[in-house]
Structures are given as structure tokens and as C-alpha cells.
């Protein structure tokens, strides 16, 4: 539910941990969500424009909003700031996160759990593509594997790699804008 995603975000903001069983449930749910997609290319269509009235009472088409973010790199408080400024993901406020959710920052687990929670709540409004840091070698070298092992355990770290392999590689918005991360891992 939207309430769960917000409460999880607040729980993580307070630097509290989520029990392993709930992390595994989130991972399995989002893996199934990614598996239900038709291909590794997300074909995204914006929702139809709403109409409203201008100051003269004439009907006008309202602008459509679609936010694309890249390279959060474990910066959980930056992600929270993005949501504070732009609003949390919802059907009326869609996002595409373009890879490199993890590594480098100290809160990669919190970032990816927040994104995955919103992906489960709004599967057609929060979209994700895989970056080169969502791979075995990069998570080992740049810290995500160690962070997950420290905060949870090695089994969950391996499950994250399985889920990462199911994330689509690229997206095309309105058949006009092609979005892919700048680098994909060799594995």
C-alpha cells in the first residue's frame, strides 16, 4: 500500500533496520514484477493529459509530468530530498530511475528498498532500468555486497543479484525518448 511505502521510507530515514523476512518478501515481489514485463525494453507511455480551465475560464490541456533520475548511488537522503521536492512516486507522479541505485553511498540498501517498495505499490508509475552497478563485480568492488552482508546476510546479498538481473536494460518514453544507462557490466 502507499502507506507501507511511506512508513518504510520513514523507518529507514530514522536509520532503523527492516527484518530479513520483509526484505526477502520485497525482493521476491519485485522480481516477479520485473518478470511480468514483456522484454528488457520498457515502452513507457505517459498518461493522457488532464484538462482544466485557465484564468479566463477557457479549457486548456494540463502539462504531463514524468521524472527521470539517474545514479542515486546509495545516497538515501538525496533520494528523500528528490521526493520532498518533486513528490513521491504515484500514478499522477511517475518516475524512471535509470540505474546505479547502489554502491558508493552508505545507504544503498535503504535506497533500493525504498525504490522497490514504491515499484510494488505503483508498478506502472515507478520504472527502473539497470545500470552497471547492479552487477556482481560492481557490488563487490564498490560496497553494496558488503553493506548487505553487514546489515542482513550473504543469502540476501545473493538474492539482490538475482533481482538485479531481472531489471530491464533500457526504456523508450512515448516512442521518442530512449533512456539507457551509460554503461552495462560485462557480466
Spatial separation of the C-alpha atoms in residues 110 and 123, rounded to whole Å: 19
133 carries an active-site annotation: yes
Catalytic entry in 133, 150, 166, 181:
133
Buried b or exposed e, range 54-90, using 16+ CB within 10 angstroms: eeeeeeeeeeeebeebbbbbbbbeebbebbeeeebbe
How many CB atoms lie under 10 A from the CB of residue 23?
22
Grid cell of 2 as nine digits: 502507499
CB-side exposure of 152: number of CA atoms within 13 Å? Answer: 23
Active site residues: 133
Amino acid at each position: 500500500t502507499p502507506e507501507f511505502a511511506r512508513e518504510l521510507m520513514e523507518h529507514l530515514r530514522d536509520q532503523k533496520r527492516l527484518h530479513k523476512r520483509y526484505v526477502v518478501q520485497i525482493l521476491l515481489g519485485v522480481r516477479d514484477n520485473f518478470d511480468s514485463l514483456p522484454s528488457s525494453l520498457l515502452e513507457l507511455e505517459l498518461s493522457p493529459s488532464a484538462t482544466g480551465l485557465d484564468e479566463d475560464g477557457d479549457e486548456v490541456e494540463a502539462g504531463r509530468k514524468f521524472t527521470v533520475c539517474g545514479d542515486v548511488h546509495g545516497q538515501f537522503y538525496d533520494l528523500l530530498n528528490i521526493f520532498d521536492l518533486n513528490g513521491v512516486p504515484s500514478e499522477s507522479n511517475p518516475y524512471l530511475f535509470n540505474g546505479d541505485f547502489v554502491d558508493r553511498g552508505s545507504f544503498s540498501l535503504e535506497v533500493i528498498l525504498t525504490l522497490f517498495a514504491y515499484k510494488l505499490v505503483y508498478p506502472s508509475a515507478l520504472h527502473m532500468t539497470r545500470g552497471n552497478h547492479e552487477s556482481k563485480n560492481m557490488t563487490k568492488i564498490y560496497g553494496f555486497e558488503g553493506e548487505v552482508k553487514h546489515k542482513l546476510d550473504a543469502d540476501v546479498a545473493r538474492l539482490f543479484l538475482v533481482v538485479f538481473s531481472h531489471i530491464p536494460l533500457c526504456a523508450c518514453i512515448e516512442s521518442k525518448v530512449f533512456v539507457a544507462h551509460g554503461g552495462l557490466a560485462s557480466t
